[in-house]
Amino acid sequence: MADKNYDVIIIGAGVVGSMVARFLSRYKLDVLLIEKDSDIGMGASSANTAIIHAGYDPKPGTLKAEMNVVGNQMFDQLAGELNFTFERRGDYVVAIGPEEFAKLESLRQQGLENGVPGMVILNGADVRRREPNINPEVSGALWATTGGICDPFGVVIAAAENAVVNGVTLMTDTAFQDFIMDGKHIVGIKTNRGDFSSRWVVNSAGLYSDVVMHKAGLRPEFKITPRKGEYYVFDKAEITINNVLFPVPSATSKGILVTTTVHGNTIIGPNALEIDDKEDRSITREGLDEIWQGAINLVPSLSLRYSIAEFAGLRPGGNAPCENPDVKYNKDFIIEIPKQVEGLVNLGGIESPGLSSSPAIAVRVVELLKGAGEKLEEKSEWNPIRRARPRFRDMLPTEQKLLIENDPSYGRIICRCENVTEGEIVAEIHAPIPARTYDAIKRRTWLGTGRCQGGFDTPRVVEILARELGVSPLEISKKGKGSEFLVRPTKDEEAE
Ligand SMILES: O=P(O)(O)OC[C@H](O)CO
């Protein structure tokens, strides 16, 4: 076992694990956050709609409903403290035709039961005025003023970075293998990088949360069934959808939506395909056709000509029934300290609205630990603020000039579509959580997400990463081992 004894080990640095780490970093605890991938936020948190849901969708009485509404309300303060982009624009559930209009009121009632403030039912003319591109057959919409959009990678990175700056240890490329038990007590974990002892372990393994809890002998019937969602991204210059437009939801999904990102791109998706493979992020013709049909039902004037990228993400859907006996069977989040084993905070089935719920889940983890007798003394030096690094494209010309005078590398544009400079890339490589791969730089700076999709910047980024990390360009990868860009030196280099 490694020398150091941790108080808490968190398995999985997605949005939930990173948020738990951030909220625990406030207390005098030795916390280790482990992540099996080469960077944080590469699992379920890596591909989603970026929406902070208002909370009218989950069934009343479920943890999903409670965490969604509480989490949503925490985002203004969190965005201010952690400096990630969050815009509370509101969202619309759009009814097409009279039958769908009738369903809006029950959705509003459900929202009221969940405690969602600020919901209004609009008529078709109102919706057409607010979103001129909407299907003219629109009969009305539920407008939820508390809905928002964020930079979802920014949320994960900012939360984890604030945790690290406040003393949490982060280990990437570190995969959980098993628990170390003393009777029914968990006393540590085994990983591919050795054993670590700890008084508490938090299971925030997302798509693998079932595997982790089964290793502790818990909930053998619980199964994560990934629900794949595919998306199209549109060039921001060509299309202007200003709002988050949901269809009327089905019993199993919020449906295929048309939305905008904080960077100004329109995105459409996701479908919801239950699959077995926890790593299958493939795009299919059928899937893309399905999301296209869903999207043009809301915005008929969309044109595939302006699509610049497609991607797929997996939601870690579980089969846990709601613990509230008043709620009929509903697949709910698991947030518990189970009785069968000691030393485990068990989180499972955190699918949508997981991003919106993540800060509330973190607070609930803190409450559970307190309830289990942990003293949780606050650190006097805890700093809730995570300072943002300069983003050249968002600055005024006078600010850009000053930045360049101070550091000329901010005057060298590496990604022309998104106006990302060398200085920004270098800053991310030397940040508290260093970006070591192309995708890590992309998630942090938004480089490579424009019309050329990295066609021009990739070779430059490989050079910069190699130079700053002091390694050969052959070692630089897209997203970790096995995804290196270069296979061998060129003839000229070999001759040198
Ligand atoms: O299909 P759902 O209900 O999992 O919803 C997915 C959402 O659009 C994610 O924001």
Same domain, 153 and 294: no
Task: Return per-residue pLDDT of the chain as tens, 496 residues.
Answer: 666 799 999 999 999 999 999 999 999 999 999 999 999 999 999 999 999 999 999 999 999 999 999 999 999 999 999 999 999 999 999 999 999 999 999 999 999 999 999 999 999 999 999 999 999 999 999 999 999 999 999 999 999 999 999 999 999 999 999 999 999 999 999 999 999 999 999 999 999 999 999 999 999 999 999 999 999 999 986 667 888 999 999 988 999 999 999 999 999 999 999 999 999 999 999 999 999 999 999 999 999 999 999 999 999 999 999 999 989 888 999 999 999 999 999 999 999 999 999 999 999 999 999 999 999 999 999 999 999 999 999 999 999 999 999 999 999 999 999 999 999 999 999 999 999 999 999 999 999 998 889 999 999 999 999 999 999 999 999 999 999 999 888 777 666 6
Contact 65, 59 (CB under 8 A): yes
Distance 114 CA to ligand 1 centre (A): 18
In one letter, which amino acid is 281?
R
Distance 49 CA to ligand 1 centre (A): 8
Residue 236: what pLDDT? Answer: 84
Distance 247 CA to ligand 1 centre (A): 11
Rounded to whole angstroms, the Cα distance separating 65 from 54 reads 10
Same domain, 4 and 78: yes
Residue 496: what pLDDT? Answer: 66
Same domain, 339 and 431: no
Contact 49, 259 (CB under 8 A): yes
- Point out the ligand 1 atom lying closest to the alpha carbon of residue 53: 10
- Point out the ligand 1 atom lying closest to the alpha carbon of residue 254: 3
Q: Is 253 in the pocket of ligand 1 (CB under 6 A)?
A: yes
Residue 2: what pLDDT? Answer: 63
Rounded to whole angstroms, the Cα distance separating 480 from 435 reads 11
- Point out the ligand 1 atom lying closest to the alpha carbon of residue 270: 8
Q: Is 49 in the pocket of ligand 1 (CB under 6 A)?
A: yes
Same domain, 468 and 401: yes
Instruction: Give the residue carrying structure tokens 């007798």.
Output: 373
Distance 495 CA to ligand 1 centre (A): 54
Q: Is 272 in the pocket of ligand 1 (CB under 6 A)?
A: yes
Same domain, 81 and 193: yes
For the chain, what is the domain count? 3
Distance 34 CA to ligand 1 centre (A): 27
Instruction: Give the residue carrying structure tokens 């399905």.
Output: 290
135-188, pLDDT tens digit by residue?
A: 999 999 999 999 999 999 999 999 999 999 999 999 999 999 999 999 999 999
How many residues are recorded in the chain?
Answer: 496
Residue to probe by mutation, ligand 1, list 91, 254, 356, most atoms within 8 Å of CB:
254
Q: Is 352 in the pocket of ligand 1 (CB under 6 A)?
A: yes
Residue 277: what pLDDT? Answer: 97
Same domain, 255 and 189: no
Contact 30, 163 (CB under 8 A): no
Q: Is 315 in the pocket of ligand 1 (CB under 6 A)?
A: yes
Q: Is 51 in the pocket of ligand 1 (CB under 6 A)?
A: yes
CATH assignment of the domain containing 253: 3.30.9.10
Owning domain of residue 333: 1-87+147-224+318-388
Distance 352 CA to ligand 1 centre (A): 5
Q: Is 48 in the pocket of ligand 1 (CB under 6 A)?
A: yes
Same domain, 287 and 374: no
- In the residue annotation, 263 being an active-site residue is answered as no
State whether residue 320 is helix, strand or coil. Answer: coil
| Active-site residue, selected from the candidate residues 53, 185, 214, 263 | 53
For atom 5 of ligand 1, the residue with the nearest CA is 254
- Show which of 349, 370, 388 is a domain's final residue: 388
Containing 293, the helix (H) or strand (E) segment is helix 285-298
Residue to probe by mutation, ligand 1, list 15, 45, 49, 59, most atoms within 8 Å of CB:
49
Q: Is 436 in the pocket of ligand 1 (CB under 6 A)?
A: no
Q: Is 259 in the pocket of ligand 1 (CB under 6 A)?
A: no
CA dihedral 263, 266, 272, 273 (to 10 degrees): -90
Same domain, 446 and 308: no
- Show which of 388, 410, 431 is a domain's final residue: 388
Contact 43, 204 (CB under 8 A): no
Distance 294 CA to ligand 1 centre (A): 14
Same domain, 68 and 120: no
- Point out the ligand 1 atom lying closest to the alpha carbon of residue 50: 10
Residue 238: what pLDDT? Answer: 66
Asked whether the bond before 220 is cis by omega within 30 degrees of 0, the reply is no
Same domain, 100 and 217: no
Residue 494: what pLDDT? Answer: 66
- Point out the ligand 1 atom lying closest to the alpha carbon of residue 317: 4
Instruction: Find, among 258, 233, 270, the residue nearest to 418 by Cα.
Output: 233
Distance 271 CA to ligand 1 centre (A): 8
- Show which of 388, 419, 449 is a domain's final residue: 388
Rounded to whole angstroms, the Cα distance separating 435 from 286 reads 35
For atom 2 of ligand 1, the residue with the nearest CA is 253
Distance 254 CA to ligand 1 centre (A): 5
Residue 237: what pLDDT? Answer: 64
Same domain, 307 and 211: no
Q: Is 314 in the pocket of ligand 1 (CB under 6 A)?
A: no
Same domain, 346 and 219: yes
- Point out the ligand 1 atom lying closest to the alpha carbon of residue 272: 1
Q: Classify residue 286 as exposed, middle or buried by CB count within 10 Å of its CB (0-12, 13-18, 19+).
A: exposed
